[in-house]
Amino acid sequence: MSDRTCDVVVVGAGPTGLSAARTLQAAGKDVVVLEARDRVGGRTWTDHIEGQMYEIGGQWISPDQSALLDLVEELGKETYQRHREGDSVYIAPDGTRTVYNGDMFPVGESTQAEMERLIAQLDELAARIGATAPWEAEDAVELDSVSFHHWLRNQSDDELACANIGMFIAGGMLTKPATAFSALQAILMAASAGSFSHLVDDHFILDRRVVGGMQSVSEQMAAELGEGVVHLNSPVRTIGWTEDSVTVGSDAMTVSAASVIVAVPPNLYSHISYTPHLPRLQQIFHQHQSMGLVIKVHATYPTPFWREDGLCGTGFGAGQLVQEVYDNTNHGEERGTLVGFISDVNADAMFALDEDTRKQRILESLADFLGAQALEPEVFYLSDFGAEEWTRGAYATSYDLGGLHRWGRFQNDPVGPIHFASSDIAAHGYQHVDGAIRIGQDTANKILST
Ligand code: FAD
């Protein structure tokens, strides 16, 4: 017995699910969205901690992310640029701190040349292989059989150049050690952002933010869907299906429809029970897409003190606990906020510590970049999506070594009336909100065209 029937059920009210529902509804379809959490937005989440607004999840938009930029404009929202005036800080593996300006880390001349050569090589690979079907490249098997770590070291014997380049994709994007994913996966990441050069250019990749927070994009999409469309606190546990119908069971209600879009990250597909069970192919490859792990660090101070020292707040250090730090001061605020990122094994190490020691270690790392004032924030908070049942990691999922060329070509295929969509299997905008919007719209259009 269903509580409701409709044309299409959407599982998950993140940016993917909501943009799919929006597209379907605009085409006249009756849609129900079932969301496990008590809020919409998924991995985008804007909240107040001790009165301070933080972007706990996704926040930045780059200039090429036109699907998201168009949606933001359509919703009548404003964006603003990240503060970027001033010098950056680089900390070398031996702990030497250098203040610099420009795009290139202040490393020795030969390391700089080596980094430039690797960037050019990755740009060329990204341009040739692209983000849409990297598995079709003639050297896909070869590139997918070697870890990004080892691929880099096969290209160059300059360890510092390899570590610095590796950081942009490993700690910086996929949030797994560079030994855990392939060179092909790294090239997909670069191609999905337009080029590898875009990933190393923080002015590009971390360009703009949404006034009022990124979650408000999802909140407004949900509100515009109207009463009774989005159901919160409704974790989907079961999907029964035939060739042309589905019955979707959540804790709150059961919905029957012609099709369903499972708009959750791939690591959560198998937490839903399918009757009949999914084909062998899906049962196998869904196990090979796993979440990375990153702690997003937020620290707020009475003023953005680093600006008085001529610093923009940006810092990089491939060997540091906090590998990247940026000025994340909110639009129109006097207080200054820093955001930093601690990835994979460093995140494991932090979670093994008690809360006070963890905080102290992290603040010391921020202070190494920006000075002792960083030790005394008024508000301090760590985003911990690894502890969230309905995400289980951050930022997104990627294949383990060899998985992308073996299974990537199947990841967007529906199984009967069951469609899968999330930023994690998007091409352009892969792992980003822009990719979520694109794949949500594309999946809805696929359903509309059948
Ligand atoms: P999600 O946002 O994960 O939404 C999936 C939804 O499905 C969730 O609401 C979840 O609760 C729900 N769900 C899961 N299982 C079930 C179930 N069984 N039943 C019902 N509902 C279910 N991207 C950027 O573009 N810029 C950034 O600066 C950026 N920074 C990030 C920082 C962090 C800390 C994190 C975690 C992510 C960041 N991202 C960023 C990535 C971005 O947030 C994601 O790519 C995007 O949110 C993915 O959208 P989605 O709808 O595909 O998935």
Cβ(214) – ligand 1 distance below 6 Å? no
Residue 41 Cα to ligand 1 midpoint, Å, equals 7
Please identify, by atom number, the ligand 1 atom nearest to the C-alpha of residue 296. Answer: 34
Residue 385 Cα to ligand 1 midpoint, Å, equals 10
Q: Which of 9, 18, 37, 43 to mutate to test the pocket of ligand 1 (most atoms within 8 A of CB)?
A: 43
Mean pLDDT value across residues 372-388: 98
Beta bridge mates, 87: 311
Cβ(213) – ligand 1 distance below 6 Å? no
Q: In this structure, which residue's CA is closest to atom 39 in ligand 1?
A: 58
Q: Whole-structure pTM over 0.80, yes or no?
A: yes
Beta bridge mates, 209: 80
List, in order, residues 6 or more apart from 96 with CB less than 8 Å away.
none
pLDDT at 103: 83
| Side-chain-side CA neighbours of residue 45 (13 Å) | 19
- Give the whole-number percent of the chain exceeding pLDDT 70: 100
pLDDT at 2: 64
Cβ 383 vs Cβ 56: under 8 Å: yes
Question: What are the structure tokens assigned to 394, written together?
Answer: 């951050």
- Rounded CA-CA distance 329/334 in Å is 8
Helices (H) and strands (E) in the chain, counts: 16, 23
Assembly ipTM: 1.00
- Rounded CA-CA distance 210/35 in Å is 23
- Rounded CA-CA distance 281/287 in Å is 10
pLDDT digits (tens, 9 = 90+) for 386-419: 999 999 999 999 999 999 999 999 999 999 999 9
Cβ(218) – ligand 1 distance below 6 Å? no
Please identify, by atom number, the ligand 1 atom nearest to the C-alpha of residue 423. Answer: 52
- Rounded CA-CA distance 106/96 in Å is 11
pLDDT digits (tens, 9 = 90+) for 234-286: 999 999 999 999 999 999 999 999 999 999 999 999 999 999 999 999 999 99
Q: Which of 10, 11, 23, 44 to mutate to test the pocket of ligand 1 (most atoms within 8 A of CB)?
A: 44
Cβ(390) – ligand 1 distance below 6 Å? yes
- Rounded CA-CA distance 337/215 in Å is 19
Phi, psi (degrees; rounded to nearest 5) at 116: -65, -40
Cβ(15) – ligand 1 distance below 6 Å? yes
Residue 42 Cα to ligand 1 midpoint, Å, equals 4
pLDDT at 313: 97
- Rounded CA-CA distance 168/196 in Å is 9
212-235 burial, b for 16+ CB within 10 Å, e for fewer? bbbbbbbbbbbeebeeebbbeebb
pLDDT digits (tens, 9 = 90+) for 144-177: 999 999 999 999 999 999 999 999 999 999 999 9
pLDDT digits (tens, 9 = 90+) for 13-63: 999 999 999 999 999 999 999 999 999 999 999 999 999 999 999 999 999
- Rounded CA-CA distance 44/393 in Å is 13
pLDDT at 47: 98
Please identify, by atom number, the ligand 1 atom nearest to the C-alpha of residue 250. Answer: 19
Residue 129 Cα to ligand 1 midpoint, Å, equals 26
Per DSSP, helices labelled H in 131-255 are 140-144, 148-155, 159-169, 183-192, 196-200, 202-205, 215-225
Please identify, by atom number, the ligand 1 atom nearest to the C-alpha of residue 12. Answer: 7
Residue 338 Cα to ligand 1 midpoint, Å, equals 22
